[in-house]
Amino acid sequence: MAKVLDGITVIEQGTFITGPAAGMLLGDLGADVIKVEQPETGDPFRAFKGGLYSPHYQTYNRNKRSIELNVKDADDAALFDELIRGADVYIQNFRPGAAERMGAGPERLRELNPRLVYCAISGFGQTGPAAGRPAYDTVAQAASGFLNLLVNPANPRVVGPAIADALTGFYAAYGILGALVERARTGVGRVVEVSMLEAMCHFNLDAFTHFFAQGEIMDPYSRPRVSQSYALACADGKRIALHMSSPEKFWRGLAEAMERPDILADARFATREGRIANQEALIEILGGVFAGRTRDEWCRRLAAHDVPHAPMYDTAEALHDPQALHMQLEVQATHPTLGPWRTVRSPVSFDGERPTDVTPPPLLGEHNTQIRAELERARATTSEKDAS
């Protein structure tokens, strides 16, 4: 595996998703990510059925090492400072002010190490009227206007995975990488700040741009209407997705695959504008047609006519698709005590080399002895240099 961040040390004092997600992304690129955790309990996301290795925790904590440190203890606080002196990046996702109370604020840590890239992740930003409010995924989705594009107005309930949490981690890693590139020129680190509100507003840029440019407030069906996207049930109860976009050739291919050229002769569906305006009627017609064949049959027909489509897989199916198998998306590793472990690899390849090597998420404090020994060796080396 190409480790483009080999030699970069990241100290992650993150909990739940945003901070750990940022650390994982850097670890996927080869950084040495040291997760600093509270003794005995660790990252609260660990807790699961009486144990400390939940699926939630596993999702965002591969390619890391774990050390338990209680920074309120003088000896542990000194070890934490040693880690910071030798680090390139520090990540935390506490509420504003919490890091300072722990002795981990940006001014103090960058005084210890001026080259340090310090990343502070928050819910609503470091200042302002909402800065101190608690924020979780759904809160950020709602505050950014994004949740309004997901919730069915006829049955308003929250759907889908933790998009805001994961995306904020991506934006944090993006900012950290930019700061590391600049540091290569200047020799000085930066304080990188990102909030869940900022991340989700930026991710929701399409909706804001439509509002700025046209005064249009998008709803959950705005994009599917324009993109001409469909989710259709087949004869076997399985579903298939179509994204027809604007090229007429795709609609001609769909009509041929369905053996229904009459659909495009209908004045309501003869043009892109007509299909957008009459999508509800088109959904009803397509639904009736697709209910007549199995999903596999439709996939063969649509592929033969070059129609943009995919089976609507569930989690158990997706990684068994021939293309997913070819891309080696599922990778495996063996934890030294827990045994075989599976995950989905990083999507980024370098020079055609897929990143199939992965280290399972660490147990709480799994690397206590190893990391402490490394710090001891570093102290000894420094003492020898000072003596000479």
The angle, 0 to 180 degrees and rounded to 10, between the axes of the packed helices 248-258 and 295-304 is 130
CA gap 130, 140 in Å, rounded:
12
Query: What pLDDT, in 10s, does the model give residues 206-242?
Result: 999 999 999 999 999 999 999 999 999 999 999 999 9
Instruction: Say what the pLDDT of residue 385 is.
Output: 75
Q: What are phi and psi of 306, to 5 degrees?
A: 55, 45
Write out residues in the chain with pLDDT < 50, as ranges. none
Per-domain boundaries in the chain: 9-205+328-387, 228-316
- On the 0-12 / 13-18 / 19+ scale of CB atoms within 10 A, 134 is exposed
Instruction: Say what the pLDDT of residue 379 is.
Output: 86
CB burial of 196-212 (b: ≥16 within 10 Å; e: otherwise) equals bbbbbbebbeebeebee
Instruction: Say what the pLDDT of residue 381 is.
Output: 80
Q: Which fold has domain 228-316?
A: formyl-coa transferase, domain 3 (3.30.1540)
Whether 38 and 66 have beta carbons less than 8 Å apart is answered as no
Instruction: Say what the pLDDT of residue 148 is.
Output: 97
Instruction: Say what the pLDDT of residue 369 is.
Output: 98
CATH superfamily of 9-205+328-387: Crotonobetainyl-coa:carnitine coa-transferase; domain 1 (3.40.50.10540)
- Strand 229-233, strand 330-335: pairing: unpaired
